[in-house]
Amino acid sequence: MFCNLSNLKGELTMAMPTREELQTLRDDLKVRIHLASKELQDAWEKLEVRWGHFQSQAELDKTASNVSEATKLLGEELKDGYDRIKRAL
């Protein structure tokens, strides 16, 4: 069975959280994290370092025709990390 490449690309794009979605989630959690436990604060600090890397990579990828696989993976990891913290709050 052959796969339609354009459909696959669309599915991959839809699966990756957008920069705006990550920014909104991050902003919400940043406010709530001040009331959280030390363990969650440590997890937050680690995610903040990764957020900086994501921001830098996303800026570079703006000039490329598509988002790099590394940026997609980093975005997904950030979303997973933010979701874990959100559930713990």
pLDDT per position as a tens digit, 51-83: 998 888 877 766 665 667 778 888 899 999 999
With a cut of 80, say whether residue 4 has pLDDT above it: no
Give the chain's end-to-end CA distance (angstroms, integer). 45
| Tokens representing residue 24 in the block | 């909104």
With a cut of 50, say whether residue 1 has pLDDT above it: no
Percent of the chain residues past pLDDT 90, beyond the cut? 17
Is pTM, for the whole model, over 0.85? no
pLDDT at 2: 40
Alpha-carbon distance 27 to 40, whole Å?
A: 15
Alpha-carbon distance 10 to 7, whole Å?
A: 5
pLDDT at 59: 77
